[in-house]
Amino acid sequence: MLDLAIVGGGPAGLAAGLYATRGGLKDVVMFEMGMPGGQITSSSEMENYPGVAAVTDGMSFMAPWQEQCFRFGLKHEMVRVLRISKDGDGNFTIYLEGDQTRRARAVIVATGSTPRRAGIEGEDEFFGRGVSTCATCDGFFYKGKEVAVLGGGDTALEESLYLAKICSKVYLIHRRDEFRAA
């Protein structure tokens, strides 16, 4: 039985694994389908993360995290978690693809998020080179420029207000006749 199962391998999952293994847990497994590091690994330039003095890319930033975590005993299994259930004895069963199961005394779900894409032409081609999903992360690159934000929910309006403080003009593009934002 695992001492701890961590679902997700981004910064939160890796940090949980580091503190768990350094704290004395012996059998800690992180279930992450791909290479650990999370969404941040797709960033081409990072300069707004605390403690990062030089501009770096997300992949380079996360590489030492993986190395450190694995050095302290965190194990990585590249298998998809389908569901988790709490058993009558207070432990958990983790149901994995391929009809596999693992049991754990504790589970941390650190699956992060995936930005919603608009599905418009050029979006994938220009992602990270003019197309972004995070104004806080990338707004500085558009300082003094005209930008467009797609959407009408809370996030789109919050990002638009943030960008309005640093950009020369912000266009808010929404397909409905009213906003859904609170």
Residue 93 CA to residue 95 CA, distance in Å, equals 6
Kindly report the pTM of this predicted structure: 0.70
Per-residue pLDDT of the chain (182 residues; tens, 9 = 90+): 999 999 999 999 999 999 999 999 999 999 998 888 887 787 777 777 788 888 888 888 888 998 999 999 999 999 999 999 999 999 999 999 999 999 999 999 999 877 778 888 998 898 878 888 888 778 888 999 999 999 888 888 888 999 999 999 999 999 888 888 88
* Long-range CB pairs of 99-104, under 8 A, 24+ apart, other chains included: 102/2, 102/5, 102/29, 103/1, 103/2, 104/1, 104/2, 104/3, 104/4, 104/5, 104/29
Query: Per CATH, is 116-182 categorized as 3.50.50.60?
Result: yes
Architecture field, domain 4-109: 3-Layer(bba) Sandwich (3.50)
Task: Give yes or no on whether 4-109 and 116-182 have one common fold.
Answer: yes
Residues noted as catalytic: 134, 137-138
Tell me the domain boundaries of the chain. 4-109, 116-182
pLDDT recorded at residue 88: 96
pLDDT recorded at residue 28: 97
